[in-house]
Structure 1
Amino acid sequence: MTVPVEKWHGTGNDFLVVDAERYVPQRRPFARVHCDRENGVVPPAGTDGGTSGQVDSGRVAQADGGEGVRVDTDCGGDGRVGADGVLFLALEADYRPPRAVMTLVQPDGSTAPMCGNGARVAAAWAAQRTGADRIMLDTQAGTREARVDGRSVTVEMGTPSFDPADVPLDRDPPLVDEEVADLRVTAVNTGVPHAVAFVPDVDAVDLDAVAAPVRDHDLFPRGTNVTLASPRGHAASGEADGFDQRTYERGVEGETRSCGTGAVAVAAAARRLGLAEGDLTVAPPGGELSVSLPADGPATLTGPVERTFETDLPRPESVDSQSASGTPQSSGTASGSESAASGSETCASRSEPVGR
């Protein structure tokens, strides 16, 4: 038995997307096998992850005959094997605005309460199916509103918290600019915990080497993501007007090309330490993200989202024999790359059910 999946990415943070109506009895082994960077899902032949240009640019029709998201033959997909996680999405299209229940299973089989880029992908996926430009996302970290507008998606990220109980930390005072395992870090929860360290040049650091001791440090009873940031430039005030970012992700157990919760963590920690004010551009290796931290509302994250291909993958009962052989999982027919996105408007209002 196989499961239809779509491959999407937000600034290089790539996910397999599965409609939750498709029964996958063992989600953890499904994610472990198909997200594996050596033997997991591969792009269909000739697509290079969506960059082959075999599909004409234009707009894809919705199931109801309306217009869908734009198809972009230069989607920026990198053709990598595997993924950073599997998004299981349950669409509630009869709400206004539509809702989607989002569950992210990571490559190690764990479930992440929140993922900024994953939420943006989920919103684009739901918008493609409903034609709506406003989507409510139900995550384990709470309900988040997203706006889809052209080529970018903006999603609410909640209010960053430095409270030790929220991070969580195994101590009472907040952890702000203190040395932990050779890094000076600030601990903040942006849906998931992050230990943020500001360094002169993120690319000059061996991330795997410095992150691993912090990720599993006793101060973090549930572990933590480890994010490095370095200033990209300075405004007239002397404050940074943007940051380069690299993140070692818990659950992936390695660096990802982009981390949305990490970008918000960088902005929140920079403000806490007086390194920056106002809206910021945060640049992980996969592209640029815009972070807004309003004083009277939730943080928002804005950036591009792209769909690179679709395929069918074996369900867990048929996965074990393939994974044991060490053979990469083959993919099916490419559908091209679809881009979706949203504006930077702060999201506030909530959805109401229709006909319920």
Structure 2
Amino acid sequence: MRVDFTKMHGLGNDFVILDGRKEALPVLDTVTAAAIADRRKGIGCDQLILLENCDQGDADFRMRIFNSDGGEVEACGNAARAVALLHGVSAKVLTDGAVISLEPTDGGATVDMGEPRFDWQSIPLDYAMDTASMPVSWGPLCNPIAVNVGNPHVIFFVGDTDAIDLGNIGLEIEHDPLFPERVNVNVATVQSKERIKLNVWERGAGLTRACGTGACATAVGAMRRGLVERKVMVELPGGALQIKWTDDNRILMSGPATESFRGSFEWSDYADGE
């Protein structure tokens, strides 16, 4: 079966998007997703995005998200902006994390990512603790804040984010038994009341140039600690995102998305895992 795809990115965080809304696609499993995402033998991407029809009344369609290791995850803010740009009009989209709202803008989108969750069971953590200042540490990183914004994040605030070897310590934290569903690791420096600098180790993908949910989680974490205002710019290696935490407890993320190219492939070339 020949399948069309669209390659897109949000601030360098790149996606292969498969649209199964008009014609149903074969079952996408972990092996196939990882093979398509492979940068040497496949098309190559940080996440593989599958769009499907759904029968949930308040959603226009469903978005499924597979990391480059083939694992399916709950949310991806950068992918949501890319899908908004591809879809072309406002929509409500079902993800495994929540129903989110997309609003395409000139060259990007604003996404209502829903409400953050702070209770330890929602992260989830392996045992109860205060998620606003967790009494744990890994090397130079200590006392993080944890938040679920559709997927789990832990955020460390440091004096200089670039001084932290996140490529080395990120994997250790991601797989720590404290996080039974693993975790995304964010290391941030508050530069002013309106700006945060951020590096992210993404669960199942590693170091990334941009992470939309990481920007949301970090901004809300900084707001919860009173470090920044309720509307900030979060600067990632790939560029900046604007994050607003509204008075009615919604997270609004705004930023660019770009279509790179379109193509097609034979499903069997990747379904075999070769």
Q: TM-score, normalised by structure 1?
A: 0.71
Alignment-mate amino acid for residue 118 of structure 1: A
Displacement of 1:176 after TM fit? 2.9
Question: 1:111 corresponds to which residue?
Answer: 72
Task: Describe how 1:138-153 pairs up with structure 2 within 5 A.
Answer: 138-153=94-109
Displacement of 1:83 after TM fit? 0.4
Contact 1:91 1:126 in 2 (8 A): no
Gaps of 5+ in 1: 42-81, 235-239, 325-356
CA distance in 2, matches of 1:10, 1:100: 21
> Of the candidates 77, 83, 100, which is equivalent to residue 45 of structure 2?
83
> Of the candidates 203, 211, 234, which is equivalent to residue 250 of structure 1?
203
Question: 2:136 corresponds to which residue?
Answer: 179
Task: Describe how 1:104-253 pairs up with structure 2 within 5 A.
Answer: 104-127=65-88, 132=89, 134-177=90-133, 178-182=135-139, 183-184=141-142, 185-232=144-191, 234=192, 240-252=193-205
Across the aligned residues of Structure 1 and Structure 2, the Cα RMSD in angstroms comes to 2.0
SS in 1 for 2:257: strand
CA distance in 1, matches of 2:92, 2:51: 12
Alignment-mate amino acid for residue 26 of structure 1: L
Contact 2:84 2:104 in 1 (8 A): yes
SS in 1 for 2:194: strand
CA distance in 1, matches of 2:28, 2:259: 25
Gaps of 5+ in 2: none
CA distance in 2, matches of 1:243, 1:218: 29
Q: Indicate the percent of aligned positions where both proteins have the same amino acid.
A: 32
CA distance in 2, matches of 1:115, 1:26: 18
Contact 1:114 1:191 in 2 (8 A): yes
Residues 35-55 of structure 1 show CA distances to partners (whole Å, capped at 9, x for unaligned) of 1133321xxxxxxxxxxxxxx
> Of the candidates 220, 224, 230, which is equivalent to residue 278 of structure 1?
230
Aligned residues: 267
SS in 2 for 1:158: coil
Contact 2:92 2:101 in 1 (8 A): yes
Give the direction of change, closer, same or farther, for the CA distance of 1:282–1:224 in structure 2 (3 Å limit): same
| Pair member with larger Rg | 1
SS in 2 for 1:165: helix
Question: 2:251 corresponds to which residue?
Answer: 299
SS in 2 for 1:266: helix
Displacement of 1:204 after TM fit? 2.2
SS in 1 for 2:170: helix
Alignment-mate amino acid for residue 213 of structure 1: E
